[in-house]
Chains A and B, each alone.
Chain A
């Protein structure tokens, strides 16, 4: 009840189902396999690490969909600039 005054919404199982379905279908509909995503991630790490120090554990590579197109989203936390000799 308090949530209704504070404007915080209870997340219903319906909303959870919808979000999970939308996400799983983006993967089902694309030809991008999890193996390919992993390979892509490894290559990205290699390339970016040449220039920046990154948090390899914190990297997130996800597929999303907007305006009818699949999109690849990469979130790569930067720790600092790589000092070059």
Chain B
């Protein structure tokens, strides 16, 4: 079966696209899948450092497009995993160095050899985004429970629908259960009601992610860490498994509702 091309995008920057791409790539590889992660953020290369592969970059996406190397030569294998590769972005060029047709061509060349081709999109809605979604079979939108991120996600959902990519699915990142319980953060049901889109996963805010990014070892490698569990669940859902969502303090949580009824509300202001 030819590989699925999945683009991870968000509109707003800084919501966790690259972290999500890196961890889903690791999780899918841990599930025995052949995975390649493409950094489509030309000029602001980051997926290499998040994956801890920055010292091994020789060729990049633009080198492939401009014929300075073969596609296979530009792929960096992650030695900690059996079948996980990175196609890095160029750091010294900009988004116009590649066009959507060339991205489609690269995806088509990778499809026969991989099960999953994950594309890390740049922020924004301009050419970099258009390049990133051009070859996609599916789109995953990452947001955080904040008004600015949700607003931008809504804009991206509209653009993905217009591009006839099929329904995009949503990952809500950096949920703080304590703040949700206090009524100081949008919960999962709020975001879904507003965006009217299928939920693919929820990820709690987790300091382990910063530690793992510091080290260049995606958190997905650490068994027992909440965020790692969240990413593993998402990878399994991508494989078509039914995996229940984590309980992160939303109103769908019976225990939380009972506790709020009984306990006096803590005044935080």
Which residues of the partner chain B approach A10 to less than 8 Å between Cβ atoms?
Answer: 183, 265
Q: Interface size of A by Cβ–Cβ distance < 8 Å?
A: 16
A22 touches B194 (CB 8 A): yes
The 8 A CB mask of B251-269 against A (1 = contact, 0 = none) is 0000000000000110000
Please judge, given known A-B contacts A25-B154, A29-B154, whether A14 and B147 are in contact too, CB under 8 Å: no
Q: Which of A23-73 contact B (CB under 8 A)?
A: 24-25, 28-29
A18 on the B face (CB < 8 A): yes
B151 touches A14 (CB 8 A): no
Which residues of the partner chain B approach A22 to less than 8 Å between Cβ atoms?
Answer: 194
A13 touches B184 (CB 8 A): yes
B186 touches A14 (CB 8 A): yes
B67 on the A face (CB < 8 A): no
For the complex of A and B, 4 pairs with smallest distance between CB atoms: A12-B183, A14-B183, A13-B184, A18-B190
Chain A residues in the interface with B (C-beta under 8 A): 1, 4, 10, 12-15, 17-18, 20-22, 24-25, 28-29
What would be 17 A-B contacts, judged by CB atoms less than 8 Å apart?
A10-B183, A10-B265, A12-B183, A12-B184, A13-B183, A13-B184, A14-B183, A14-B190, A15-B183, A17-B186, A20-B147, A21-B151, A21-B194, A22-B194, A24-B147, A25-B194, A29-B158
